[in-house]
Amino acid sequence: MHQYKGKLIIHTGSMFSGKTSSLEKDVKRFRIAGYNTLAFKPSVDTRYSTSEIISHDQTSLEALLVEDISKIMEHCEKSNPKVVAIDEVQFLGGEIDEIINGINQLLEKDITVIVAGLDIDFSGKAFEILKELMPIADYLTKHHAVCVKCGTDAWVSHRKTKAQERVVIGATKEYEPLCRSCYVKEKKEESKIVNKNQVTFIE
């Protein structure tokens, strides 16, 4: 793994697709290979633990909680890592341009950056940060959960409740992985229910 200098490695996909586990696995491999590594996660995502990245399959990795990219840069100035991991990058605070600039600065210093994040939200709309990062990646893996309706590769984290916020943190039970075709069917069913309710309301 010693050829890894200043590479951008991205793990993306829906919820329950194993992207965090893959980030953890990469970090552990870099540690075995003797790289000084630092792992971060946005402080807004404190679902399971305040100082560890823990994936849905309950593996874990020590991580520093940060609000935004400037805090990551400060930590890197101090500890001089060769590999930096950022989990749930879509939750990182601050402007998209600042995040991209920060990551580029790390890459230009020959630091390898591993990022895990959601590519699209519950409605199939792209997260801006991933939209910017994916084309500049050296290595990009799109992970897939399993569609709970038909068992094929899932595409989206469908939200079963009507909450309108883009991400409901800590509400993993409210989401289910669906493939595109099952998602479209589900949306049609939901709109029928809405229409029926509207008719009832008018009556």
Map tokens 């939901």 to a residue. 190
Closest separation in Å from C-beta 149 to Zn ion = 4
Binding mask 119-148 for Zn ion (x = CB under 5 A): ----------------------------x-
Q: Is 179 in the site for Zn ion (CB under 5 A)?
A: yes
Instruction: Answer positive or negative: Cα dihedral of 39, 113, 75, 70.
Output: negative
Rounded distance between C-alpha atoms, residue 32 and residue 46, angstroms: 27
Q: How would you classify the pairing of strands 60-62 and 83-86?
A: unpaired
Rounded distance between C-alpha atoms, residue 42 and residue 115, angstroms: 12
Q: Is 182 in the site for Zn ion (CB under 5 A)?
A: yes
Residue 146 or 168 having the CB closest to Zn ion: 146
Q: Is 156 in the site for Zn ion (CB under 5 A)?
A: no
Identify residues 92-111 at the interface with Zn ion (CB under 5 A).
Answer: none
* Nearest by Cα to 122 from 169, 56, 58, 63: 169
Residue 117 or 177 having the CB closest to Zn ion: 177
Q: Is 184 in the site for Zn ion (CB under 5 A)?
A: no
Stretch of 37-45, 51-59, 176-184, 190-198 lying at the interface with Zn ion (CB under 5 A) = 176-184
Residue 54 or 154 having the CB closest to Zn ion: 154
Instruction: Answer positive or negative: Cα dihedral of 68, 92, 57, 32.
Output: negative
Q: Are 16 and 177 in contact (CB under 8 A)?
A: yes
Map tokens 């590999």 to a residue. 83
Q: Is 150 in the site for Zn ion (CB under 5 A)?
A: yes
Residue 31 or 180 having the CB closest to Zn ion: 180
Closest separation in Å from C-beta 148 to Zn ion = 8
Stretch of 9-17, 42-50, 149-157, 166-174 lying at the interface with Zn ion (CB under 5 A) = 149-157
- Which residues are part of the catalytic machinery? 88
Q: Is 73 helix (H, G, I), strand (E, B) or coil?
A: helix
Which tokens belong to 186? Answer: 């589900």
Q: Which residues bind Zn ion (CB under 5 A)?
A: 147, 149-150, 179, 182
